[in-house]
Structure 1
Amino acid sequence: MTAKSAVTKNTLVDPDDAPELTDAWFEKADLMQGSKLVRRGRPAGQTKALQTVRFDLDVLAAFKATGKGWQTRMNEALREWLKEHPMKHV
């Protein structure tokens, strides 16, 4: 004997209540291919560069130990250091 699946509630929402999808909205949106993230949306002007950098293992472990978002926190720590120690361009 096969069991019947539970009836799901209708969650249909009136499409007239949806926000307008502007170019600005799409610029901030994450681009996905199925469940795979292809590009993370960011506010205009805030770009990031993929770079290979070497850190001491203890420094890297300390940031990773803070959990999800550790790379953002590391970036913020470096940004704060730069504010306190302005770089002289040669």
Structure 2
Amino acid sequence: MLTGKQKRFLRARANQIKPIFQVGKTGVNENMVTQITDALEKRELLKVSILQNCLEDKTVVSEQLAEGTGAEVVQIIGNNIVLYKESTENKHIVLP
């Protein structure tokens, strides 16, 4: 569980990051979850963009991604979700 100070720190770091995954009208599937899990292991912090044609609500999508990947939802802003998961091998973000 992230504290408010840690979330603020991660939001500041995520400000410069561009979304690398997009959720479309098919929603969240297993292949997407495994790819996001791999990317989180490499990067620790990433953005996921939700397209306009997505049929599910953005909070539902964020819960599905967080549950499937074991990550924490840092922020939902507009149609972007910021996810954080501490890496076991490639740790480069030190939380305050």
Verify same fold: TM over 0.5: no
Task: Name the TM-score, length of structure 2 as normaliser.
Answer: 0.24
Q: Greater strand percent: which structure?
A: 2
Greater RCO structure (CA 8 Å; 6+ sep): 2
What TM-score do you get using the length of structure 1 for normalisation?
0.25
